[in-house]
């Protein structure tokens, strides 16, 4: 029951998030307030991210917009990673691990596509295939970490 509640919470956060316009979600004013001295500028200034056929960087967007971009894309990766893990844990333990992994990743991809579609219905938002790839990458990474943790746990149990 707890896993289902967490799943519904994550899906709810995704639904609300993709229902908001960019202006409603903007972190720029908060970042300006919290990071007035632009910490790590010299490190971040060296980073360039190819996205939608453009290079996103401090030079191209400015410090606060670039930091916001990194936060928003990290949030995609993280929340869809969590979603994949919760879906995995919802599947029966009787199902082989590779199937649980595959189904979890598939459902995460379906959620990612639906999230981008829902976002396309929101004014001022544009759906992105890049975000779907990022979401699935987050799911894959988190599932891989979970698999490694489960293997270590099983080996540790055998020792003790």
Q: Kindly list the distances between the CA atom of residue 14 and the CA atoms of 23, 26, 64, 76, in Å, as whole numbers in the listed order.
A: 17, 16, 24, 9
d(CA 68, CA 44): 12
- Number of structural domains (the chain) is 1
> Using one digit for the tens of pLDDT, what is the confidence trace for 68-111?
999 999 999 999 999 999 999 998 787 888 999 999 999 999 99
pLDDT for the residue 65 = 95
User: By mean pLDDT, which of 36-40, 139-143, 144-148, 155-159 is the weakest?
Assistant: 155-159
N-terminal to C-terminal alpha carbon distance within the chain? 30
Burial class (CB in 10 A: 0-12, 13-18, 19+), 158: exposed
Q: 44 and 71 in contact (C-beta within 8 Å)?
A: no
d(CA 151, CA 129): 33
The stretch 147-156 carries a mean pLDDT of 90
Neighbours of 68 (CB within 10 A): 19
Q: 20 is in which domain, residue-wise?
A: 2-159
> Using one digit for the tens of pLDDT, what is the confidence trace for 23-73?
888 999 999 999 999 999 999 999 999 988 889 999 999 999 999 999 999
Burial class (CB in 10 A: 0-12, 13-18, 19+), 101: buried
Residue 10, both tokens: 């994550």
d(CA 88, CA 124): 34
Q: 87 and 7 in contact (C-beta within 8 Å)?
A: yes
Neighbours of 114 (CB within 10 A): 15
pTM of the model: 0.90
């Amino acid at each position: 029951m707890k896993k289902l509640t967490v799943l519904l919470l994550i899906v709810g956060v995704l639904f609300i998030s993709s229902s908001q316009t960019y202006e409603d979600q903007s972190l720029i004013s908060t970042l300006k307030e919290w990071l007035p001295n632009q910490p790590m500028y010299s490190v971040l200034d060296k980073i360039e991210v190819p996205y939608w056929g453009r290079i996103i960087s401090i030079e191209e967007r400015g410090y606060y917009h670039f930091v916001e971009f990194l936060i928003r894309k990290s949030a995609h990766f993280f929340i869809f990673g969590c979603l994949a893990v919760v879906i995995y844990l919802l599947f029966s333990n009787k199902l082989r691990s590779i199937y649980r992994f595959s189904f979890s990743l598939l459902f995460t991809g379906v959620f990612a596509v639906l999230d981008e579609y829902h976002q396309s219905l929101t004014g001022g938002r544009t759906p992105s295939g890049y975000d779907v790839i990022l979401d699935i990458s987050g799911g894959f990474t988190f599932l891989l970490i979970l698999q490694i943790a489960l293997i270590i746990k099983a080996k540790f149990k055998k020792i003790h």
